[in-house]
């Protein structure tokens, strides 16, 4: 079976855009399990020849913007179970929010290896956001632009030793 890589982050940071970039035109399967897992999408991803199953997460959109409520954490826990790595996406233009910090704190306690991704960094945008997210304690952020396809080689370099 392919290694599984789950894409995590607060709403609107670009998780689904990254998922679509990684999965491309390949068919994304919609999980039909009830409850929290219903908000996940699976797709066969190719990243410069590295193949894995990508998992897009959602369903946090209805929650309070600055809290990590039970349902959100529950979904993250479900998604992380069986995952070989997590891509934790933040919005480099928006900078870190309290919710990013809360998810980051929680992720640090988990056993799954994490690649920190500073998205929306096309054309050297979001430099202060990129610097800010070192404070998450999740290592060096990888600046990417999921929308414009920038930073893909760096993402490959960060992910390939983990899966
Ligand atoms: P999600 O809620 O985390 O799944 O985020 P989406 O993938 O739905 O994207 C949220 C918004 O961010 C959309 O308007 C995207 O077009 C935009 N977006 C995603 N990736 C990028 C990027 O690399 N650069 C910029 N400037 N916008 C992006
Ligand atoms: Mg989404």
Query: Which residue has tokens 């590295």?
Result: 50
Instruction: Tell which atom from ligand 1 comes closest to the C-alpha of 20.
Output: 7
**Domains of the chain, each with CATH number or no CATH:** 4-159 (3.40.50.300)
Q: Is pLDDT larger for residue 74 or for residue 46?
A: 46
60 annotated to bind ligand: yes
Tokens of 86: 């997590």
Asked if 75 and 60 touch (Cβ cutoff 8 Å), the reply is yes
Strands across the sheet containing 114-119 = 29-30, 40-47, 50-57, 4-8, 85-91, 114-119, 142-143
Question: What's the ipTM?
Answer: 0.99
Average of per-residue pLDDT across 145-156: 97
Paired residues of 89 in beta bridges:
117
124 annotated to bind ligand: no
Average of per-residue pLDDT across 128-140: 97
Average pLDDT along the chain: 86
Taking the CA of 90 as reference, the closest ligand is 1
Per mean pLDDT, which range of 28-32, 77-81, 156-160 is the poorest? Answer: 28-32
121 annotated to bind ligand: yes
Distance 91 CA to ligand 1 centre (A): 9
- Give the integer Cα–Cα distance in Å for 119 and 88: 10
- Decide if pLDDT at 47 tops 90: yes
């Amino acid at each position: 079976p392919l290694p599984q890589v789950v894409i995590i982050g607060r709403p609107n940071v670009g998780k689904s855009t990254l998922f679509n970039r990684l999965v491309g035109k390949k068919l994304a399967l919609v999980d039909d399990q009830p409850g929290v897992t219903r908000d996940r999408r699976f797709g066969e991803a190719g990243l410069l020849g590295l193949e894995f199953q990508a998992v897009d997460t959602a369903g946090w959109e209805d929650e309070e913007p600055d809290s990590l409520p039970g349902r959100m954490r529950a979904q993250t826990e479900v998604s992380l179970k069986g995952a070989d790595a997590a891509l934790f996406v933040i919005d480099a233009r928006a900078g870190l929010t309290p919710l990013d910090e809360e998810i980051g704190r929680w992720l640090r306690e988990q056993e799954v290896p994490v690649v920190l991704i500073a998205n929306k960094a096309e054309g050297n945008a979001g430099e202060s956001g990129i610097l800010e997210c070192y404070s998450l304690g999740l290592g060096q952020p990888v600046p990417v632009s999921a929308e414009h396809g920038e930073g893909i080689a760096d993402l490959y370099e960060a992910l390939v030793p983990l899966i």
